[in-house]
Amino acid sequence: MSDLRIVIFGASGHIGYEVLRLFSKSYIVLAPSRIDLDLKIFDDVGTYLRIAKPDLIINAASFSDIDLAENNVLDVRRLNSEFPGFLAMEALNRKIGLVHFSSDQVFDGRGQRSPYQEDDMPNPLNVYGRSVLKGESLIKNTLDRYLIFRTSRIYSLRRPCFISKLLSILGEYKDINVLADQYGSPTWARSLAQMSYKAIINSDIFNSSISQKYGTYHLSDYGEVSWYDFASAIIEIIERKKINLLNEKPTIRAIDSDVFVSPTKQPRYSVLSTSKIEKNLCIKPVFWKKQLESCLSEI
């Protein structure tokens, strides 16, 4: 095992949990819980980092409930914008690198018909998207030695997400409506952790020299799918693998965003192109449905 030390913030979330599991096999990893360390109190975080003396900071912490974010602007700004900026300053002062996870919600999807590139113009539609975009900006304006991974529609079996909500609803109703005009790239948290692990190693971010490999990257499972087709794929896999979760075959109806009441505006298209990270850091994403099958096989 390497004697390099990594601090991971947000290790209880979808992404952080899988990143912690993976990096702990090869590095000394410290991952304070939110009970042990309140990330909104920056003085305490600074003290923690001073004692921990990490060689790399990985930030997977965020206020990620997009609907709830609309009415919690101050908390969202503190965790999604100011906290990444604070970590960037800490990394700069300690002459170490920072890895940060962001979101496809920085884009508006208007008129978009092909996957977003990293240099496409962001234009968030909601509080969450604006907050993570500000966090990105603070990192970029403070630090050279960073990796920002924008990702899409994270899911796992550990915490609430689209899969758990879908199965919960289907436990009560056998006829449901699902949006058919919002497209993205659903990404299994474990797949993201595996890809980000390889990307971090290939980026040379542990070294003190400035590298052309640093910067912002799009990182998700390959392909694009609507929420409706994703839901249909979940049901099809569960039935084919004879996973005993549904008593009878449900009816899933495709609906348009215009007739769906939601507190939050979201892009109708937020698929991310991974061509840059494939070329620069030798990452090869796997098709989203194959990863979904792997995830559901663990039920």
Q: Which of 59, 43, 165 is nearest to 103 (CA)?
A: 59
Torsion, Cα 171 177 181 183, to 10 degrees, reads 0
Please tell me what DSSP assigns to residue 257.
G
Contact 52, 7 (CB under 8 A): yes
Following DSSP, what letter does each residue of 169-225 receive, concatenated? HHTT-SEEEEESS-EE--EEHHHHHHHHHHHHHHHTTTSSS--TT-EEEE---BS-E
- Which residue in this structure is represented by tokens 């979940």? 234
Please tell me what DSSP assigns to residue 78.
I
d(CA 196, CA 157): 19
Domain boundaries, the chain: 5-155+187-221+272-286
pLDDT of residue 233: 95
Task: Assign 245 a pLDDT band (cuts: 50, 70, 90).
Answer: low
Q: What is the mean pLDDT of the chain?
A: 93
- The 10s digit of each residue's pLDDT in 53-108 is 999 999 999 998 899 999 999 999 999 999 999 999 999 999 999 999 999 999 99
- The 10s digit of each residue's pLDDT in 144-187 is 999 999 999 999 998 889 998 988 888 788 888 999 999 999 99
Is the whole model's pTM more than 0.75, yes or no? yes
d(CA 167, CA 216): 34
- Which residue in this structure is represented by tokens 């991310």? 272
- Main-chain dihedrals φ then ψ at residue 264, nearest 5 degrees: -130, 130
Q: Which CATH class is domain 5-155+187-221+272-286?
A: alpha beta
